[in-house]
Structure 1
Amino acid sequence: MAKVITMGEIMLRLSTPNNEKFIQADEFDVNYGGGEANVAVSLANYGHDAEFVTAVPDNEIGECAVAALRKYNVETKHIARCGERLGIYYLESGSSMRPSKVVYDRAHSSISTATEADFNFDEIFEGADWFHFTGITPAVSDAAAELTEKALIAAKKHGVKVSVDLNFRKKLWSSEKAQKVMTNLMKYVDVCIGNEEDAELVLGFKPGDTDVTSGELELAGYKSIFEQMVDKFNFEYCVSSLRVSHSASDNGWSACIYSRDTKEFYHSKEYSIHPIVDRVGGGDSFAGGVICGMLDGKNFKDALEYGVAASALKHTIPGDFNLVSRKEVETLAGGDASGRVQR
């Protein structure tokens, strides 16, 4: 199996139980998660040698976050203990026409103040096959953006393939800042993952007449922007998840991919996900599935189908992490969506 490194912020997630609104909640459910950590858990769960790199405070809460990763066989030996605190996010899970809401409390978190001196990147990337990061980490702080580029430089020095999930977060930075920082980082990237909003707000590409709020997907627009992105950044693959939001509880879920070398554009099968148990981490589970498929040597179309199936299943699991097995993903990707009891 391949050695995969992911780097970012792991956070304490406090979510309202039973779809309650914040104002109703007398208690919160506790989970840990974060974009790159979620990908590491997925890949470890599929049997790859996955390691997560981050910084956590040197206290019991920081150790709880590390323990959450170790529970799912993610390597944590290069996690730095430094900084003031673990970031927190509060989640109010929506239902039907009421959307989910996220409130961040992550200012001055450990990863936001960490520097290159806290990590030995040559040691971290020795023997690695793949490095994954997201647009969330550079958005956390200028120091985190600089740290991300240092990691990317080291990854390329060691001949490691790099993927990014663009993941624009408007509560963390503006589109103008995102485009300035992320455009600079794209020269290190081989596989670019992101939805239509990410492509526009992070890199400035808009996919035709798509309007996800009305459920309209213009696939020709995606092919056009993928071609432009490959032309500008020389990505090996451009990938996008495609979410049609009928409501917070009912989504259509598929994806598309474009290959630089073959010039082929491919749209996956679409899954109807209803009811959604937890959509947080859905994009990360998609990225983890696509990366797994590529590391397994699947062709890019089969890798995409694997990612879509994996992420469709994630929507049925509470918490940030996707905890499905290879067999479960392969069963769904193979056409069995019956959900029959396994005896």
Structure 2
Amino acid sequence: MSKVVCFGEIMLRLAPAGYLRFEQAQSFDAVYGGGEANVAVSLANFGVDALFVTKVPDNPVGQAAINEMRRYGVDTAYMVRGGERIGIYFLEKGASQRPSKVVYDRKYSSVSQAQSRDFDWKKICAGADWFHFTGITPALGDHVAEAVLDACKAAKKAGLTVSCDLNFRKNLWTSEKAGEVMTRFMPYVDVCIANEEDAEKVFGIKAGSTDITGGKLSHDGYKDVARQLSDRFGFKAVAITLRSSISASDNNWAAMLYKGGEYYFSRNYAVHIVDRVGGGDSFGGGLIYALRAGLSNQEALEFAVAASCLKHSIEGDHNHVTVNEVKTLMAGDGSGRVQR
């Protein structure tokens, strides 16, 4: 069976218990996560052979990160050991009108010091049919960006489908730098995934008649964004998640897919949030699974949105749901009734 390759950083997430603020915390709960790692775990949970590529320190913490991925059935054969440390992020979960906060501590992390020679991309891509990365990884440094570019070239040469979640992070780089670097990867990308802000922050393409702070999203505006992205870069598909934030605790969640010249919109879910970190990654994992499984364009979109809807109810970065659970929600059973 062919596999999906994901390349990025796995991080240690430290968070106060429940909804405590940083200054209230006497201890921190520790889990692992990261954009591409979350996608790999989602795919493994769906029964896909997923391979995660990264660099972690050659110490017990790095080994714990490797063990985390193995725990969920992800292939860790190309999690390279070396470098100084694992990246950390601190998460303060928001509630009601108080937003969540993230503080990064990832300078000099092993992945940020990785170079192309750390990875044998020809060997890594052998037996795979899909390669996935996000805009977070090249933002970690110029050497990492070169590694991502080499990976994209190797993936296309080997005939893999390439997907990219733009995932703009203002704490990692500027819009100008992001646009300059990400433009280099786009000729190799088949499926582009973005949210309400990514296209604007990275490529200057803004959805008209939209106010994400006020919770106003325009379908026509996002149709235009998807079309412009596709026209500029030749993508085979563009998926855009549509999050309308009522508060930190309650969101409306949906998405759009532009493929084959047609626009598809999912149903909308009113989500009461347990943990929203990894929501976009769970959408990406769901979309990759569904497209590889041969679902129709509408069904693939609905599967991805339902999978990510469920993720918002799960603590931690990873999406611990099965294909059957996602299909149950797709079929309309969102009652949350106890299953016995």
Q: Give me the TM-score of the superposition, normalised by structure 2.
A: 0.99
The one-letter code of the counterpart of 1:295 is R
Task: Determine the structure 1 residue equivalent to 2:274.
Answer: 277
Count matched residues: 340
Distance (whole Å) between structure 2 residues aligned to residue 293 and residue 231 of structure 1: 24
Task: Determine the structure 2 residue equivalent to 1:118.
Answer: 118
Distance (whole Å) between structure 2 residues aligned to residue 202 and residue 133 of structure 1: 15
State whether residues 12 and 30 of structure 2, in contact with CA within 8 Å, keep that contact through their aligned partners in structure 1.
Answer: yes
For residues 243-273 of structure 1, the C-alpha deviation after alignment (integer angstroms, 9 at most, x for no partner) is 00000000000000111x2x11111000001
Distance (whole Å) between structure 1 residues aligned to residue 166 and residue 315 of structure 2: 24
For residues 184-227 of structure 1, the C-alpha deviation after alignment (integer angstroms, 9 at most, x for no partner) is 11000000000120010112210112111111011101111211
Task: Determine the structure 1 residue equivalent to 2:72.
Answer: 72
- Report percent identity of matched pairs: 58
State whether residues 38 and 321 of structure 1, in contact with CA within 8 Å, keep that contact through their aligned partners in structure 2.
Answer: yes
Task: Determine the structure 1 residue equivalent to 2:336.
Answer: 339
TM-aligned CA deviation for residue 144 of structure 1 = 0.9
Does residue 1:316 correspond to 2:317, yes or no? Answer: no
Task: Determine the structure 1 residue equivalent to 2:85.
Answer: 85
Does residue 1:102 correspond to 2:102, yes or no? Answer: yes
The one-letter code of the counterpart of 1:79 is M
Task: Determine the structure 1 residue equivalent to 2:262.
Answer: 264
The one-letter code of the counterpart of 2:308 is S
Counterparts in 2 of 1:251 and 1:2: CA distance versus 1, 3 Å: farther
- Structure 2 segments unaligned to the other structure (5+ residues): none
TM-aligned CA deviation for residue 179 of structure 1 = 0.3
Distance (whole Å) between structure 2 residues aligned to residue 49 and residue 96 of structure 1: 39
For residues 124-148 of structure 1, the C-alpha deviation after alignment (integer angstroms, 9 at most, x for no partner) is 0001010000000000111111110
The one-letter code of the counterpart of 2:7 is M
Could you tell which deviates more after superposition, 305-314 or 139-148?
A: 139-148
Moved over 3 A (4+): none
Task: Determine the structure 2 residue equivalent to 1:226.
Answer: 226
1:268-307 correspondence runs (5 A): 268-274=266-272, 276-307=273-304
SS at match of 2:246: strand
For residues 9-44 of structure 1, the C-alpha deviation after alignment (integer angstroms, 9 at most, x for no partner) is 000000111100000000000000000000000000
State whether residues 2 and 295 of structure 1, in contact with CA within 8 Å, keep that contact through their aligned partners in structure 2.
Answer: no
Task: Determine the structure 1 residue equivalent to 2:180.
Answer: 180
Aligned residue among 322, 325, 329 for 2:322: 325
The one-letter code of the counterpart of 2:74 is V
The one-letter code of the counterpart of 1:183 is T
Task: Determine the structure 1 residue equivalent to 2:217.
Answer: 217
Distance (whole Å) between structure 2 residues aligned to residue 177 and residue 171 of structure 1: 12
The one-letter code of the counterpart of 1:104 is Y
TM-aligned CA deviation for residue 2 of structure 1 = 4.0
State whether residues 116 and 147 of structure 1, in contact with CA within 8 Å, keep that contact through their aligned partners in structure 2.
Answer: yes
SS at match of 2:167: coil
TM-aligned CA deviation for residue 277 of structure 1 = 0.5
- Structure 1 segments unaligned to the other structure (5+ residues): none
SS at match of 1:19: coil
For residues 70-104 of structure 1, the C-alpha deviation after alignment (integer angstroms, 9 at most, x for no partner) is 00000000111011000000000000000000000
The one-letter code of the counterpart of 1:220 is D
For residues 43-84 of structure 1, the C-alpha deviation after alignment (integer angstroms, 9 at most, x for no partner) is 000000001000000000000011111000000001110110
Distance (whole Å) between structure 1 residues aligned to residue 196 and residue 98 of structure 2: 22
Task: Determine the structure 2 residue equivalent to 1:241.
Answer: 241
The one-letter code of the counterpart of 1:87 is G
State whether residues 136 and 168 of structure 1, in contact with CA within 8 Å, keep that contact through their aligned partners in structure 2.
Answer: yes
Distance (whole Å) between structure 1 residues aligned to residue 114 and residue 140 of structure 2: 11
Does residue 1:163 correspond to 2:181, yes or no? Answer: no
Distance (whole Å) between structure 2 residues aligned to residue 228 and residue 248 of structure 1: 31
1:110-149 correspondence runs (5 A): 110-149=110-149
